[in-house]
């Protein structure tokens, strides 16, 4: 495949280039959306892999521009993003994106997505070819029908001239070849005695009568002729009034066009259309299966299997995002660190299976807490974390007390269970300047809660508590 990579990070760009070239793809690179749009207008690409957030023109805008170029062949568009909100994905789909990958993309996942892209592009190419063939055929048939309706006896088409009684007057060479009947065997015989079956006599008489009464544009019908020496032939008969000196209708010219090939081709086209519909249905099914697989993969990669809460990986992703947001907006960000009191003795007394059951129940209690934007995660072992964006220390303490009380009052199966909670809050006026310092501060507060007797909430106070952040350790 010929792929355009759009990535403003030089390192990520080089990694993608190397990965795709090893997979034998032809790669062209751009460092922002504006450069990619210029390259796209000048060259053909099968697929575009674009970062979402970029200077000059972001990936969403680039996707819209690519989709607006309807005169170009379809280009499969994959957005690379760390944004996984439903609204973000909906915006990407509305802009025309075909797929999403979380940064940094997993090589196996990326190759699988490109395989799907190749199958879709191949299918679309076949459909375009079939559509072009069908359009060409239909245009040819329409032109042919118009020509045949005006053909006269001298054209190389099976033409039969008859009087108003239906008696054959002329029978050209093309008729001999088509019907397998010589002219001398047909001329001066009635049509239903030579060409048509006898039961069509009154139908033919009605047709001639209609032509005589003013069907000036002629009549047309399709019928199947049982050829004496070969397979049945599908024919179109064009009946045109034949006028005499006084403009009176004296007979008819019947031009017979062999459409056997067309009928057989229409049957083939019908079968091809049915096949295309089945392939489209299968493609839709594969897309649904892929979507379900991606959703399951996303859940497995971000959730802790024991508690059902966010895992440590998702915790680090979100807290870094929230911290960056807090530094931009100057809004507070609070972190709760808490663990189960005397958990080791609980495990020693009742076994690790009982300890796992305790953590599972605790996970169930915590899953329903907090706002949509709050994050509850299993930080490690019996330790949990809760990130509260746009929440000051007082608000965080209220949430912590509610959690502590909920755990203390729960009916535990073996013995009473309590938790200790440490709280740290980032705001522009305090000394906390990094995510690691925020976690260290919450950890110091948690340690203080343990020292003071457990089953309590302690808020980190920079005037009372001290910790060694990363910057101090480096010093």
> What percent of the chain is modeled with pLDDT above 90?
43
What's 64's domain CATH number?
A: 3.40.50.2300
In the sheet that 249-258 helps form, which strands lie side by side, from edge to edge?
168-171, 158-163, 249-258, 233-243, 219-225
| Domain CATH for 199 | 3.30.450.20
CA atoms within 13 A on the CB side of 191: 26
* Verdict on whether the full-model pTM lies above 0.75: no
Segments forming the whole domain that contains residue 405: 312-474
Q: Return the closest-CA partner of residue 15 out of 51, 53, 52.
A: 51
Domain contains 281: no
Domain final residue pick, 222, 238, 258: 258
Same domain assignment for residues 380 and 331: yes
Q: What band does 470 get if pLDDT is binned at 50, 70 and 90?
A: very low
Last residue of a domain, one of 220, 235, 258: 258
Is 285 within a domain? no
- Number of domains present in the structure of the chain: 3
Q: Do 379 and 446 share a structural domain? A: yes
Q: Is the same domain home to 66 and 181?
A: no
Report helix, strand or coil for 195.
Answer: coil
Same domain, 106 and 191: no
348, 449: one domain: yes
Q: Which of 28-37, 103-112, 214-223 has the highest mean pLDDT?
A: 28-37
- pLDDT band, very low/low/confident/very high, at 450 (cuts 50, 70, 90): very high
Look at residue 441 in the predicted model and tell me its pLDDT.
Answer: 94
Over residues 153-176, the pLDDT tens digits come to 567 888 899 898 889 999 999 988
Q: Are 44 and 53 in contact, with CB atoms under 8 Å apart?
A: no
- Residue 377: is its pLDDT beyond 90? yes
Residue 417 has pLDDT above 60, yes or no: yes
Same domain, residue pair 84 and 166: no
pLDDT-wise least confident of 31-40, 329-338, 361-370, 410-419: 361-370
How confident is the model over 262-284, as pLDDT tens digits? 888 888 888 898 888 988 988 88
Residues 87 and 42 reside in one and the same domain: yes
Last residue of a domain, one of 223, 243, 258: 258
DSSP bridge pairs for 233: 225
**Per-residue pLDDT tens over the stretch 432-447:** 889 999 999 999 999 9
266 phi/psi in degrees, rounded to 5 = -65, -40
State whether 120 and 158 are in the same domain. no
Q: In this predicted model, which residue has the larger pLDDT, 36 or 296?
A: 36
């Amino acid at each position: 495949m010929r792929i355009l990579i759009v990535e403003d990070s030089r390192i990520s760009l080089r990694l993608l280039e190397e990965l795709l070239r090893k997979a034998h793809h032809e790669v062209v690179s751009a460092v922002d959306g504006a450069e990619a749009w210029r390259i796209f207008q000048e060259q053909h690409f099968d697929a575009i892999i674009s970062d979402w957030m970029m200077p000059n023109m972001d990936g969403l805008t680039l996707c819209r521009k690519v989709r607006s170029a309807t005169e170009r062949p379809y280009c499969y568009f994959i957005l690379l993003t760390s944004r996984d909100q439903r609204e973000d994905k909906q915006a990407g789909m509305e802009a025309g994106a075909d797929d999403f990958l979380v940064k940094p993309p997993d090589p196996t996942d990326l190759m699988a997505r490109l395989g799907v892209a190749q199958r879709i592009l191949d299918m679309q190419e076949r459909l375009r070819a079939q559509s072009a063939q069908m359009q060409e055929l239909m245009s040819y048939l329409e032109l042919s029908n118009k020509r045949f309706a005006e053909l006269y006896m001298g054209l190389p088409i099976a033409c039969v001239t008859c009087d108003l009684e239906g008696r054959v007057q002329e029978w050209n060479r093309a008729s001999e070849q088509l019907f397998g009947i010589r002219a001398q065997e047909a001329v001066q015989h009635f049509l239903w005695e030579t060409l048509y079956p006898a039961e069509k006599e009154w139908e033919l008489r009605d047709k001639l009568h209609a032509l005589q009464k003013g069907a000036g544009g002629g009549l047309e019908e399709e019928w199947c002729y049982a050829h004496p020496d070969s397979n049945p032939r599908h024919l179109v008969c064009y009946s045109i009034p034949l006028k005499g000196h006084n403009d009176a209708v004296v007979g008819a010219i019947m031009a017979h066009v062999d459409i056997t090939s067309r009928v057989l081709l229409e049957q083939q086209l019908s079968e091809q259309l049915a096949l295309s519909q089945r392939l489209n249905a299968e493609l839709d099914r594969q897309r649904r299966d892929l979507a379900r697989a991606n959703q399951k993969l996303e859940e497995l990669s971000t959730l802790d299997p024991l508690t059902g809460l966010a895992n440590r990986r998702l915790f680090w992703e979100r807290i870094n995002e929230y911290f960056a947001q807090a530094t931009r907006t100057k809004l507070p960000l609070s972190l709760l660190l808490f663990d189960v009191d005397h958990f080791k003795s609980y495990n020693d007394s009742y076994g690790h299976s009982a300890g796992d059951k305790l953590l599972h129940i605790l996970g169930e209690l915590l899953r329903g807490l907090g706002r949509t934007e709050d994050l509850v995660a299993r930080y490690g072992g019996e330790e949990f974390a809760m990130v509260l964006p746009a929440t000051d220390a007082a608000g965080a303490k209220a949430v912590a007390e509610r959690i502590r009380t909920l755990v203390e009052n729960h009916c535990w199966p073996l013995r009473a269970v309590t938790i200790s909670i440490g709280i740290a809050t980032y705001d522009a006026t305090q000394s906390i300047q990094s995510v690691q310092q925020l976690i260290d501060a919450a950890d110091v507060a948690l340690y203080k809660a343990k020292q003071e007797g457990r089953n309590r909430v302690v808020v980190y106070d920079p005037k009372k508590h001290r910790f060694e952040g990363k910057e101090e350790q480096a010093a």
